[in-house]
Amino acid sequence: MTKELYDFDAQYASHGVVCGVDEAGRGPLCGPVCVAAVVLDESDVIEGLNDSKKLSEKKREKLYDEITRRARAYSVVLVGPEKIDELNILGATMFGMRQAVEGLAVAADFALIDGNRCPQLAIPCEAVVKGDARAACISAASILAKVTRDRYMAELAKEYPQYHLEKHKGYPTKEHYALLDEYGVAPIYRKSFLKKRGYV
């Protein structure tokens, strides 16, 4: 599996330095959307890369350490609820993707973006549907984004224990809505996500 992912990236080597970009947390009712960009070292293969959603939390944590130690460069950006409400979730994600690519210590010449659309970047890019399961650099970005956001939500859970964020990470579960009914909307919430249900 790992070889296939690196083989996918190798198709783009003629473009120069290639980075992979992915996000975590587009669907939750609260907290940030997290975006990561990664430039891998093709001569230092990290075994076990895959779509972060297909990996156990333990495996993701281990790979997070491997990626941050062995990648040529990486950049992680958190885009908060206010920006999400201002731009909408797609706009906020694209904004974060641009920031993440621009924040790389090794400038990329080309970007592979998970999904079906690209942000406006100063470099050429290509959208790759299900890219986190196809391209090594996007898979690495998906792991950094997911682990960073999960850690952030665990910290937020200490600040706002009433919402049980450590369990659902902010996603719209039945329990989460019940807790919102009970405790109301805190500043960490995306107001635009709650309008339809009449919370704001």
Q: Are 169 and 163 in contact (CB under 8 A)?
A: no
Instruction: Give the span between the Cα atoms of 30 and 193, in whole angstroms.
Output: 8
For residue 180, pLDDT beyond 80: yes
Instruction: Give the span between the Cα atoms of 124 and 144, in whole angstroms.
Output: 23
Confidence grade of residue 100 (pLDDT, cut at 50, 70, 90):
very high
What average pLDDT does this structure show over 139-152? 98
Q: pLDDT at position 158, please?
A: 97
Alpha carbons within 13 angstroms on the beta-carbon side of residue 200 total 12
Instruction: Give the span between the Cα atoms of 23 and 149, in whole angstroms.
Output: 9
What average pLDDT does this structure show over 73-102? 98
For residue 159, pLDDT beyond 80: yes
Q: pLDDT at position 196, please?
A: 79
What average pLDDT does this structure show over 52-79? 97
Q: pLDDT at position 107, please?
A: 97
Place of tokens 């592979």: 112
Confidence grade of residue 1 (pLDDT, cut at 50, 70, 90):
confident
Instruction: Give the span between the Cα atoms of 69 and 97, in whole angstroms.
Output: 21
What average pLDDT does this structure show over 15-23? 98
Residue among 133, 101, 98 at smallest CA distance from 114:
133
- Reported as a single tens digit per residue, the pLDDT across 21-65 is 999 999 999 999 999 999 999 999 999 999 898 999 999 999 999
Q: Where are the beta strands (DSSP E) in the chain?
A: 18-24, 33-39, 73-79, 110-114, 125-128
Cβ neighbours of 119 (radius 10 Å): 21
Q: pLDDT at position 197, please?
A: 82
Q: pLDDT at position 165, please?
A: 97
Q: What is the pLDDT of the chain when averaged over all its residues?
A: 96
Side chain identity at residue 166, one-letter code: E
Cβ neighbours of 55 (radius 10 Å): 20
For 178, residues 6+ apart whose C-beta sits below 8 A from its C-beta are none
What average pLDDT does this structure show over 156-165? 97
Confidence grade of residue 200 (pLDDT, cut at 50, 70, 90):
confident
Domains in the chain and their CATH numbers? 2-151 (3.30.420.10)
For residue 72, pLDDT beyond 80: yes
Q: pLDDT at position 181, please?
A: 95
Q: pLDDT at position 198, please?
A: 82
Which DSSP category does 13 fall into?
Answer: G
What average pLDDT does this structure show over 152-160? 97
